[in-house]
Amino acid sequence: MYAALWRALPGPALLRAALLVVLLGAVVVACFEWLFPLVASWLPYDETTVGSDTGAALPGPSALPGPVVLPGPSALPSLRPLEDLA
């Protein structure tokens, strides 16, 4: 399909590429101006489940993990000075 479109466009390759960019922009504008608003009436935007009350309780503090302990500087590998790399 893309090869047929490329062959149908007039002019040298640079002009064809510019025409393809313009055509792609026109398709994007047409979708946002006419197609997406038309289809939006059929999409279930109002049927969300986020934030609705499911009746389940949140876990208490005993179910949460303990504090995170990070290793100290002695656990990190030591870095060699730059002059050792030469």
Task: Give the model's confidence band at 18: pLDDT under 50 very low, under 70 low, under 90 confident, else very high.
Answer: very high
Task: Give the model's confidence band at 45: pLDDT under 50 very low, under 70 low, under 90 confident, else very high.
Answer: confident
What's phi and psi for 65, nearest 5 deg?
A: -70, 160
Domain residue extents for the chain: 1-43
SS3 content of the chain, % helix, strand, coil (to 5): 50, 0, 50
Q: Distance from CA of residue 7 to its chain's centroid?
A: 33
> Coil, helix or strand for 43?
coil
Q: What is the pLDDT of residues 1-12, one digit of tens each?
A: 788 888 898 999
Q: Are 9 and 16 in contact (CB under 8 A)?
A: yes
Q: Are 9 and 20 in contact (CB under 8 A)?
A: yes
The CA distance from 52 to 82, in Å, is 58
The amino acid present at 80, given as its one-letter code, is R
Task: Give the model's confidence band at 46: pLDDT under 50 very low, under 70 low, under 90 confident, else very high.
Answer: confident
pTM above 0.95, yes or no: no
